[in-house]
Amino acid sequence: MQNERLIREEAEKLFRAKQRRRRELASLPFEEKIRILVDLQKMASDIRATVGGIKRRPWNIRRRTRT
């Protein structure tokens, strides 16, 4: 019983942290979300190549300068 309670409490903490992180990510500007996506694409491409798969190029997004 004690272990089940501890597991439940730990799971609740993890879910609260997950919700908090999702709110943080949702509040980011669109440009930052795209930058994160491109970083994830780079990581996935490297992992794919490491395990013998075909390496894919991430999006080539150039930063726009504001006038």
The whole model's pTM is what? 0.66
Query: What letter represents residue 58's amino acid?
Result: P
pLDDT at 60: 87
pLDDT of residue 66: 63
- 65 CB burial (10 A radius; 0-12, 13-18, 19+): exposed
| DSSP code, position 55 | -
Ranges of the chain with pLDDT below 70:
63-67
For 32, the token pair is 């930052």
Q: What is the pLDDT of residue 36?
A: 95
